[in-house]
Structure 1
Amino acid sequence: MVIIDVGQVNDECGLHALLKAELGFPAFYGMNWDAFWDAITGLVQIPDHLRFTGCDHLRARVPRGATMLRQALDRYRQQYRPQFLAEYA
């Protein structure tokens, strides 16, 4: 399991920078949701279990980013890895 604290993120750029660092995305990562999808489905192997902490802060400060993150990871689980688990605390 990898724990990612999103409790200090204040914008989508910061969220993408954090995801890039924590999930080992390549230097050319495009810092947008299409690039996030490409990264998790073909560029890196993400762990079977991700736990995001500080989600109340993220939803308050970056509501679109919080929604897009959850939707992308739900879609990833449904289409590619049914055993994948993402938790949002």
Structure 2
Amino acid sequence: MTLDLTGITSKAAIHQLFKEQLGFEEWYGPSWDAFWDSVVAIVEMPPVLTLTNWDEFARCCPRDIQILQQVIEDYAVEMHPKQIMLG
């Protein structure tokens, strides 16, 4: 599965995209802890989730891209062979 991050310039926007496209629960809020809980225990994730066109998000939200990169690394360990990747 591929999610295009074109036009995503805020933490709230990326979390809304995740909620809509990955089928997160209605209560899901814009936090990395909620994202982690959702991808490892609540929704059935695809074998590979590729996030494309993420550079604009990285420029606008440098701290959040760092957190996302750490989440991606942790997910690779915790959920192997499933993976999330920046493409």
Q: Which amino acid in the other structure matches residue 12 of structure 2?
A: C
Alignment of 1:55-70 (within 5 A): 55-70=54-69
Aligned counterparts of 1:87 and 1:71: Cα–Cα separation in 2:
11
Aligned counterparts of 2:73 and 2:39: Cα–Cα separation in 1:
12
How large is the Cα RMSD of the aligned pairs?
1.3
* Corresponding residue for residue 71 of structure 1: 70
Offset at 1:43?
1.0
Task: Report the identity percentage.
Answer: 29
* Corresponding residue for residue 16 of structure 1: 15
Alignment of 1:1-89 (within 5 A): 2-79=1-78, 81-89=79-87
Structure 1 segments, 4+ long, off by >4 Å, are none
Aligned counterparts of 2:47 and 2:13: Cα–Cα separation in 1:
24
Gaps of 5+ in 2: none
Aligned counterparts of 2:66 and 2:5: Cα–Cα separation in 1:
13
Offset at 1:21?
0.9
Offset at 1:30?
2.0
Gaps of 5+ in 1: none
- Normalised to the residue count of structure 1, the TM-score between the two structures is 0.87
